[in-house]
Amino acid sequence: MNQQLIDTEELRIDDLVEKWHQGGSGVSLREFLGMSADQYDYWLKEPEAYCKTSLLRKERRQKAAEQSLVVMSRIVANYSLCERVLRVLDIPLDEVDAIFGNAGISMDRHQG
């Protein structure tokens, strides 16, 4: 992992700690940082390792979100294609919705 990214994450946390010390939040530092008790303990003991782990977690979440977006776009494309085929076959839209509903697919229809 890029050391510059780790340093940037450490600076981000340092900035949050500084804001917390300025007061007014009414919550513990751990809560202000949005960390669980385990994360907070880990950060106190190994701040650089925590930052690296945090960045890796964020990277995995981003990749998972991107993969989900790809899957959803394929579903939408398949839905649109299937809907067009069913229209060509002259199947009423309420039956098309029922077909997709039975398959567990519920999508808003945007008439254009």
How does pLDDT run along the chain (112 residues), one tens digit per residue? 688 888 898 999 999 999 999 987 889 999 999 999 999 999 999 999 999 998 888 888 888 888 877 777 777 777 777 777 777 777 777 776 777 777 666 655 544 4
Number of domain units in the chain: 1
Please check whether residue 109 lies inside any domain of the structure: no
Parent domain of 25? 3-102
Please check whether residue 68 lies inside any domain of the structure: yes
Note the pLDDT of residue 112.
40
What is the distance between the alpha carbons of residues 72 and 80, in angstroms, rounded to a whole number?
12
What is the distance between the alpha carbons of residues 15 and 39, in angstroms, rounded to a whole number?
18
Please check whether residue 69 lies inside any domain of the structure: yes
Please check whether residue 108 lies inside any domain of the structure: no
Note the pLDDT of residue 87.
72
The total number of residues written for the chain in this structure? 112
Note the pLDDT of residue 90.
77
Note the pLDDT of residue 110.
45
